[in-house]
Amino acid sequence: MARPMRIRAVNKDGVTEVKVLMSHVMETGQRTDDDGETIPAHFIKDVTAVLDGKTVLQAQWGPAVSRDPFLSFKFEGGEKGDELEVTWNDNEGESRTDTVEIR
């Protein structure tokens, strides 16, 4: 299982800014190993952020995103103490969900 995401969410003047660091290999499927064999594609394809049952971010990614991706976004709403849930799913069926309390 992947390492936990590092998530920070801060609300200021009614706008919540979220920063997420994800741990993932993000292989494109175009590189080769030392033996010349193609390394299979393995990348995050969907990212979702949910606050109180409402989706505040939904993204579709592909193999062009770098290893251990960083994501930053803002949304209106959220109060200090609310929990934000961030989930990613990859092309091999793996997923990770972590939550953070908005500060």
- The pLDDT tens digits along the chain (103 residues) read 578 999 999 999 999 999 999 999 999 999 999 999 999 999 999 999 999 999 999 999 999 999 999 999 999 999 999 999 999 999 999 999 999 999 9
Rounded to whole angstroms, how far apart are CA atoms 64 and 28?
7
- Please report the pLDDT score of residue 3 as a whole number: 87
In a domain, 76, yes or no: yes
- Please report the pLDDT score of residue 49 as a whole number: 98
- Please report the pLDDT score of residue 95 as a whole number: 96
Domain range holding 33? 6-101
Nearest Cα residue to 98 out of 89, 70, 80, 87: 87
In a domain, 16, yes or no: yes
In a domain, 45, yes or no: yes
- Please report the pLDDT score of residue 1 as a whole number: 57
Global pTM exceeds 0.85: yes
